[in-house]
Amino acid sequence: MASTAALEVLQSAGRRRARRREWVAVLGRAVRTPRGAIGLGIVGAVVLIAAIGPALAPYPADNFVTRPFANPSLSFPLGGDTLGRDVLSRTLDGGWQLLLMAAVATLLGVGVGAAWGVTAAYSGGRWDTVLMRAVDIVLAFPQLVFALLLVSILGPKIWLIVLAVAISHAPQVARVTRAAALDICERDYVRAAQIIGMPARKVMRREVLPNLTSVLMVELGLRLTYSILVIAGLSFLGFGLQPPTPSWGYMINENRIGLVANPWGVLAPVLLIAALTIGTNTLTDAVARASLGVGRGADDALLPGITAAGAVS
Amino acid sequence: MAEVTAPAKPAGAARTSKAHPLWNTFFRRLGFGVITLFCVSILVFAATQVLPGNAASAVLQNTATPQRLHALELQMHLNRPAVEQYWTWLTGLLTGNPGTSLVSGASVSSLVGGRVVNTAVLVLLAGVIGTLIGVALGMLAAARRDSWLDHVLSVTALAVTALPEFVVAMALVIFFAAVIWHLFPAVSVFPPGVAPWSDPTLLVLPVATLVIVIVPYTFRMMRAAMIDALESDYVEMATLKGLSRRRVLFFHALPNAIAPTIQVIGLNFLYLAGGVVVVEYVFNYPGLGQGLVNAVSDRDIPVIQFIVILLAAFYVVVNIATDMVSLAASPRRRLPRS
């Protein structure tokens, strides 16, 4: 009795360790490739700027400290923005909300999508059909348009944008997860778990989900990139964080009339957003290669379907 | 008994598949498409129903007085039950009368009509040019696999895929319109009723932005499909027969790499439906996307609903068309599974 209990504890601990080891191993392999290292380096740098930037900003982001579109000078290294605020301070202060929102939206979207897809694949039959038809409806909107529809109703609220992006991710994640899970649900160990009377939720969580680790890692990376694109895009259109709060997306919009006088008001946020999305995409590509075991040859054939599958949105 | 009925089965199957199996698939997909659009219309309509307060107070915001609120409620039929409102809206939509703008008072179809043409021009130009460039570059990279050219193209594609449209657009404006060279106008404003092709310089930067965003994806798919085809037995056979490299590439490998690429072309057009929103806004191009952004700023609900439905319909149609064309292009998947 005691020994079986101990055995179970040991087994579950071992399983947990194995699960952790898998995604750590994939990530480790990815980061050791040139692409992975470059991607991680870029993402790390941008995250660092966004995270400790607010503490380093020389001026309060909302204060009018110089002339509108002032040229760069010693006291204002990136010059002034459309209202005469310090571009450097606003740049340092304007990234952390974007990163935080994108991260939450991604986790939420991938979490819900994965649960959705696994449930559909595991249940099969009518449930599968119903769940996947629901996916088609949300997929009938471009992601940005879906977010705009929600924002037009309730106004540009932070939680609403995060939720809208998460909802528009979920169906796409569900599709990918379902496709990968269909095969796993047929495996013998899943059958075995069902036969010994394990409840469905537990089978999905303990037997099916751990086998989707690499698929979900790639999805997380992909969706993170798209979250950043959509949230920064909404912000650019003026439906994200409301002024005077600095945000990279809206900075580009408000400073583009002074592009000729002081290009840094546009250039600084453009470069940071570009670096961020290029970084996340490169890292995701490396993770996809590492988890699929491709790339050692230079065989690209498997990848585009995975790393670019969401390009639509 | 069993022996008698057994042969009847294949005969029956043959009779039903006399109508080409592609048509069956087509009608089934069309049916699903209509159902999807119906659900979308419910969703879009329901979205306006969950407003705290109601749509009228959301539109008027600070300018709401009881009289104005009441008048607007009557105009929007908000005093009727939701199902009846939905029915009025849906029948109006289907008979070409999607209501009137809450901001300008003009009919929605007259506001949106010209924009549809402008956006269609943008999407078609970008889609066609982007696809051609992507396919050509993909073939080139696959034919010279692992050369420096292939590596440069692949890495560039990986980087550019991730860029948001407005970043690409601003880069183009900085380079070609405002700061470095002054070749093209930075905004593409033209009055309603004027055809967008009357001044092609206005189209250059918006189209170029969209092309840059869709080329990398097409390139990656084409390169992968082409590498697949080039590694196949029949291409090896063709090469061993002594056919020229060009002939092998264009007549043996290319036709087999086209089917997966058709999917990508479809995805490109789907992407463009969303991509035009930001690009039109950046360049002030008077299309559907800019109309949508303006309507969202003004909370002009009938206009928002109509544009969203139009984009969703475009999505569904492109999806069906893509599936049908790629089925027609790959004979192996076209035949019934027997």
Q: In this predicted model, what pLDDT tens digit does every residue of B262-292 receive, in sequence order? A: 878 888 888 888 888 999 998 988 889 899 9
Interface confidence, given as ipTM, is 0.80
Cα→Cα distances A70→A92, A264, A298, B233, Å:
18, 10, 49, 65
Q: Say which residues have a Cβ less than 8 Å from residue B95's Cβ, sequence separation at least 6.
A: none
**Residue type present at position B172:** L
Contacts of A252 in chain B (CB under 8 A): 166-167, 170
244-273 in chain A: CB under 8 A from chain B = 249, 252, 256, 259-260, 263, 266-267, 270, 273
- Give the best residue of A98, A237, A292 to mutate against chain B (max B CB count within 10 A): A237
- CA dihedral (B82, B292, B160, B196) positive or negative: positive
CB–CB contact A300 B58 (8 Å): no
pTM of the model: 0.83
Three-state DSSP state, B100: strand
Number of H-type helices and E-type strands within chain B: 15, 0
CB–CB contact A149 B47 (8 Å): yes
Number of H-type helices and E-type strands within chain A: 13, 0
Please answer whether residues B229 and B235 qualify as being in contact, where contact means their C-beta atoms are separated by less than 8 angstroms.
Answer: yes
Task: Give the pLDDT confidence of B140-180 residue by residue, as tens digits.
Answer: 898 888 889 988 998 888 888 888 888 999 899 888 887 77
Q: Is B148 exposed, middle or buried (0-12, 13-18, 19+ CB in 10 A)?
A: exposed
Please answer whether residues B73 and B48 qualify as being in contact, where contact means their C-beta atoms are separated by less than 8 angstroms.
Answer: no
Confidence label for A43 from pLDDT (cuts 50, 70 and 90): very high
CB–CB contact A142 B273 (8 Å): yes
The C-alpha angle with vertex B169 and arms to A142 and B308, in degrees rounded to 5, equals: 20
Confidence label for A189 from pLDDT (cuts 50, 70 and 90): confident
pLDDT of the residue at A111 = 94
CB–CB contact A145 B292 (8 Å): yes
Closest-CA residue in chain B for A144?
Answer: B274
CA distance A307 to A295: 13
- Choose among B43, B164, B179: nearest Cβ to A229: B164
Please answer whether residues A177 and A219 qualify as being in contact, where contact means their C-beta atoms are separated by less than 8 angstroms.
Answer: yes
CB–CB contact A304 B274 (8 Å): no
The owner of tokens 């463009």 is B272
Closest-CA residue in chain A for B319?
Answer: A140
- Give the best residue of A38, A153, A154, A255 to mutate against chain B (max B CB count within 10 A): A153
pLDDT of the residue at A100 = 94
Confidence label for B62 from pLDDT (cuts 50, 70 and 90): low
CB–CB contact B50 A153 (8 Å): yes
Q: Say which residues have a Cβ less than 8 Å from residue B310's Cβ, sequence separation at least 6.
A: B112, B116, B288
CA distance A110 to A133: 18
> How large is the average pLDDT for residues B46-54?
65
> How large is the average pLDDT for residues B123-141?
91
Task: Give the pLDDT confidence of B294-315 residue by residue, as tens digits.
Answer: 888 887 888 888 898 888 888 8
Please answer whether residues A162 and A234 qualify as being in contact, where contact means their C-beta atoms are separated by less than 8 angstroms.
Answer: no
CA distance A145 to A11: 48
The C-alpha angle with vertex B296 and arms to B293 and B302, in degrees rounded to 5, equals: 115
CB–CB contact A300 B273 (8 Å): no
What is the average pLDDT value for chain B, to the nearest integer? 80
Cis ω before A244 (30° cut-off from 0): yes
CA distance A38 to B162: 15
CA-based nearest residue to A143, from A123, A173, A186: A173
pLDDT of the residue at B202 = 82
Which range (A26-35, A222-231, B74-83, B212-221) has the least confidence?
A: B74-83
- pLDDT of A2 strictly over 80: no
Q: Answer with the residue of higher pLDDT: B278 or B88.
A: B278
CA distance B143 to B166: 33
> How large is the average pLDDT for residues A108-123?
90
- Choose among B164, B220, B299: nearest Cβ to A304: B220
> How large is the average pLDDT for residues A69-88?
86
pLDDT of the residue at A12 = 60
- pLDDT of B256 strictly over 60: yes
- CA dihedral (B121, B126, B127, B131) positive or negative: positive
Pairs across A and B, CB distance < 8 A: 160
Confidence label for B6 from pLDDT (cuts 50, 70 and 90): very low
Contacts of A243 in chain B (CB under 8 A): none
Q: Report phi then psi at A144, rounded to 5.
A: -65, -35
- Choose among A274, A282, A305: nearest Cβ to B167: A274
Q: Is A36 exposed, middle or buried (0-12, 13-18, 19+ CB in 10 A)?
A: buried
CA distance B272 to A210: 36
Cα→Cα distances B41→A139, A154, B308, B320, Å:
14, 19, 9, 18
The C-alpha angle with vertex A126 and arms to A125 and A127, in degrees rounded to 5, equals: 95
Secondary structure letter of residue A313 according to DSSP? -
pLDDT of the residue at A192 = 86
Contacts of A144 in chain B (CB under 8 A): 274, 277-278
> How large is the average pLDDT for residues A66-82?
85
pLDDT of the residue at A45 = 95
Please answer whether residues B195 and B111 qualify as being in contact, where contact means their C-beta atoms are separated by less than 8 angstroms.
Answer: no
CA distance B142 to B153: 11
Three-state DSSP state, B107: strand
The owner of tokens 């409102």 is B85
pLDDT of the residue at A104 = 96
Task: Give the pLDDT confidence of A257-308 residue by residue, as tens digits.
Answer: 888 888 898 999 999 999 999 999 999 988 888 877 654 333 343 343 333 3
CA distance B261 to B276: 22
- Choose among A143, A229, A263: nearest Cβ to B174: A263
Please answer whether residues B183 and B172 qualify as being in contact, where contact means their C-beta atoms are separated by less than 8 angstroms.
Answer: no
- CA dihedral (B130, B131, B136, B138) positive or negative: positive
The CA distance from A117 to the nearest CA of chain B, in Å, is: 19
- Choose among B170, B224, B274: nearest Cβ to A144: B274
CA distance B10 to B336: 12
pLDDT of the residue at A4 = 57
Three-state DSSP state, A80: strand
CB–CB contact A252 B166 (8 Å): yes
- pLDDT of A83 strictly over 70: yes
pLDDT of the residue at B99 = 77
Contacts of A152 in chain B (CB under 8 A): 295-296, 299, 301, 304
- Choose among B220, B278, B304: nearest Cβ to A152: B304
Q: Where are the alpha helices (DSSP H) in A33-124?
A: 34-56, 87-93, 96-123
- pLDDT of A106 strictly over 90: yes
How many residues belong to chain A? 313
Q: Say which residues have a Cβ less than 8 Å from residue B147's Cβ, sequence separation at least 6.
A: none
CA distance A73 to A69: 12
Task: Give the pLDDT confidence of A230-260 residue by residue, as tens digits.
Answer: 999 999 998 888 888 889 999 999 888 888 8
